Structure 1
Amino acid sequence: MGGHYITLEQRHRLSDTTLYPGSAGGGVVGGSRVGHRRLSSCQVLLLVLVAGSSVIALYAYWDVMTAGARDPDGHSPRQLSNETLAQQLRREVRVLCWVLTTPKYHKSRAVHVMRTWGKRCNKIYFMTSESDDELPTIVLNKSDKYEVLWGKTKEAFTHIYQHMRDEADWFMKADDDTYVFVENLRYMLYPYSPDQAIYFGYNFKMIGAHNKNESYMSGGSGYVLSREALRIFAEGLNDSTKCRQEDNSAEDVEMGRCLLNLDVKAGDSRDSKLRNRFYPLLPFDMLLSGNSGLDFWLYKYAYYSVRSCMDCLSEYPVAFHYVNPEQLYVFDFFNYDFQLVGKQKPEERLPQKIRPEDLVIPDYDNMFT
Structure 2
Amino acid sequence: MAGECITLENPSTYPGFHYNSNGFASGKYYRSGQRISTNRLVLLLLLLSSTLIVLYAYWDVMVLTAGTLPLARGTSSVDSMESGLGNESLAEKLYREVRVLCWVLTTPKYHKTRAIHIMRTWGKRCNKIYFMTSEPDDELPTVVLTKPDRYEVLWGKTKEAFVHIHEQMRNEADWFIKADDDTYLFLENLRYMLYPYSPEIPIYFGFNYKMVGTHQKNESYMSGGSGYVLSREALRIFAEGLNDTSKCRQEDDHAEDVEMGKCLFNLGVKAGDSRDEQLRNRFYPVAPFGALLSGNVGLDFWLYTYAYYNVRSCMDCLSEYPVAFHYVNSKQLYVYEYFNYQFQLSGRAPVVERLPKKIREEELVIPESDNPMS
The TM tier, using the shorter chain, reads 0.7 to 0.9
Taking structure 1 as the reference length, what is the TM-score of the superposition? Answer: 0.78
3-state secondary structure, aligned to 2:102: strand
Match among 109, 124, 143 for residue 148 of structure 2: 143
Answering whether residue 349 of structure 2 is matched by residue 357 of structure 1, we say no
2: CA distance between counterparts of 1:174 and 1:136?
A: 15
Q: CA deviation at 1:209?
A: 1.1
Kept in 2: contact 1:79–1:85 (CA 8 A): no
3-state secondary structure, aligned to 1:224: strand
Answering whether residue 123 of structure 2 is matched by residue 84 of structure 1, we say no
Deviating beyond 6 angstroms after TM superposition, the runs of 4 or more aligned structure 1 residues are none
Q: Return the structure number with greater relative CO, CA threshold 8 A, min gap 6.
A: 2
* Unmatched tracts of structure 2, length 5 or more: 1-82
1: CA distance between counterparts of 2:297 and 2:332?
A: 24
Answering whether residue 345 of structure 2 is matched by residue 340 of structure 1, we say yes
Residues 289-333 of structure 1, C-alpha deviations (whole Å, 9 max, x = no match): 544322110011100000011110101000000000011000000
2: CA distance between counterparts of 1:180 and 1:322?
A: 12
Letter in 1 for 2:354: R
2: CA distance between counterparts of 1:222 and 1:160?
A: 16
2: CA distance between counterparts of 1:289 and 1:94?
A: 36
Taking structure 2 as the reference length, what is the TM-score of the superposition? Answer: 0.77
Match among 203, 218, 229 for residue 234 of structure 2: 229
Match among 245, 254, 264 for residue 249 of structure 1: 254
Name the Cα RMSD after superposition. Answer: 0.9
2: CA distance between counterparts of 1:355 and 1:150?
A: 32
Which residue of 2 is the match for residue 65 of structure 1?
none
Which residue of 1 is the match for residue 187 of structure 2?
182
2: CA distance between counterparts of 1:318 and 1:216?
A: 17
Which residue of 2 is the match for residue 121 of structure 1?
126
3-state secondary structure, aligned to 1:342: coil
Q: CA deviation at 1:286?
A: 1.1
Answering whether residue 118 of structure 2 is matched by residue 131 of structure 1, we say no
Match among 217, 220, 245 for residue 222 of structure 2: 217
Equivalent residues in 2 for 1:303-318, closer than 5 Å: 303-318=308-323
Equivalent residues in 2 for 1:35-46, closer than 5 Å: none
Letter in 1 for 2:301: F
Number of corresponding residues: 292
Answering whether residue 206 of structure 2 is matched by residue 201 of structure 1, we say yes
Kept in 2: contact 1:221–1:320 (CA 8 A): yes
- Please, which moves more after superposition, 80-89 or 284-293? 284-293
Which residue of 2 is the match for residue 282 of structure 1?
287
3-state secondary structure, aligned to 1:352: coil
1: CA distance between counterparts of 2:250 and 2:332?
A: 37
Residues 225-279 of structure 1, C-alpha deviations (whole Å, 9 max, x = no match): 0000000000000111000000011000000000000000000000000000000
3-state secondary structure, aligned to 1:127: strand
3-state secondary structure, aligned to 1:174: strand
Q: CA deviation at 1:81?
A: 2.2
3-state secondary structure, aligned to 2:283: coil
2: CA distance between counterparts of 1:362 and 1:347?
A: 28
3-state secondary structure, aligned to 2:130: strand
Letter in 1 for 2:197: Y
3-state secondary structure, aligned to 1:171: strand
Residues 44-65 of structure 1, C-alpha deviations (whole Å, 9 max, x = no match): xxxxxxxxxxxxxxxxxxxxxx
* Unmatched tracts of structure 1, length 5 or more: 1-77
Which residue of 2 is the match for residue 269 of structure 1?
274
2: CA distance between counterparts of 1:163 and 1:329?
A: 32
Kept in 2: contact 1:79–1:88 (CA 8 A): no
